Amino acid sequence: MFAKQDLKFDPIPLPDHIDMPPEDMQKAAVEFLAHMRKRHSVRDFTDQPVDQSVIENCILTAGSAPSGANHQPWHFVAVKSPQIKAQIREAAEVEEEKFYAGGGGDEWIKALEPLGTGVDKPHLTTAPWLIVVFAQRHGNFADGTKFKNYYVPESVGIATGFLIAALHNAGLSCLTHTPNPMKFLNGLLGRPPSEKPVMILVVGHADKDATVPAVAKLKKPLAEILTVK
Domains of the chain: residue spans and CATH: 41-225 (3.40.109.10)
Residue-level pLDDT at 1? 62
Of 123-127, 161-165, 177-181, 189-193, least confident by mean pLDDT is 177-181
In this prediction, residues 43-71 reach a mean pLDDT of 97
Residue pLDDT, tens place only, 6-50: 778 889 999 998 899 999 999 999 999 999 999 999 999 999 999
Could you give the percent of the chain with pLDDT greater than 90?
Answer: 76
Sign of CA dihedral 166, 164, 118, 193: positive
Residue-level pLDDT at 44? 96
Residue-level pLDDT at 45? 98
In this prediction, residues 79-92 reach a mean pLDDT of 97
Query: What residues contact 26, with CB distance under 8 A and at least 6 apart?
Result: none
Instruction: Supply the DSSP string of 39-70, one letter for each residue.
Output: --B-S-B------HHHHHHHHHHHHTS--GGG
Q: Where are the alpha helices (DSSP H) in 170-227?
A: 184-189, 222-225
Query: What residues contact 214, with CB distance under 8 A and at least 6 apart?
Result: none
Mean pLDDT for the chain overall: 94
Predicted confidence (pLDDT) at residue 66 exceeds the cutoff of 80: yes
Query: What residues contact 14, with CB distance under 8 A and at least 6 apart?
Result: none
Report whether 136 contacts 152 (CB < 8 A). Answer: yes
